[in-house]
Structure 1
Amino acid sequence: MAFRLPSTWAGAAAALAIALLTPSTAAAKPPVIALSNAYYGNNWRHQMVDAFRKAANQAKKDGLISDYIVLNGDNSVSAQISQMIDLILRKPDVILID
């Protein structure tokens, strides 16, 4: 019986690993995507945010995402940190930081 104990633990560990690594079908809802932009200091940043919004709107229509969030820090470190804290509390599935 002492020899079976390690194999029992190994089997239990393998079952737990499989359960943890297998995606749950009940939790398979489309993700929420968030973009935290530091500032709109140049044309490229405006284009980037506009392109993100356009792509996110299309992805939402297609059912690929459930929602998206865009925040701008107005070139303030403290504002962007505050926004990041807010985003973390809102628990989006993905946070993009620029």
Structure 2
Amino acid sequence: MDFLISPALAETGAAAGPSMLDFAFPIILLVLFYVMLIRPQQKRAKAHRQMQSALAKGDEVVTDGGLMGKILEINDNAISVQIAENVEVKVRREAISAVLPKGTLKKL
């Protein structure tokens, strides 16, 4: 446990400065935090933005609420999705969570 808490030593003539391990431990923690948490989240967000920008009329999608439907119309902020015959809903572009393979809705 000496790497977490410095042992209390009697002061000698020269003051002992901080060791390299005192600086390395927080830096290693920051690097691990970035690699394990921040970077994967950035990759997921980038992939989601690319998926949203590639949406096209006729794509079959799933919304965040779990509705599955076919895109009828795309505006800047809203998308019209047909979820059943003569039933159309408007959702925000950000609410589209996934694009389904063609023909998925007919199989259900």
| Common fold: TM-score over 0.5 | no
Give the number of the structure with larger relative contact order, counting CA–CA contacts within 8 Å between residues 6 or more apart: 1
Provide TM-score, normalisation by structure 2.
0.30
Between Structure 1 and Structure 2, the one with more strand by share is: 2
Between Structure 1 and Structure 2, the one with more helix by share is: 1
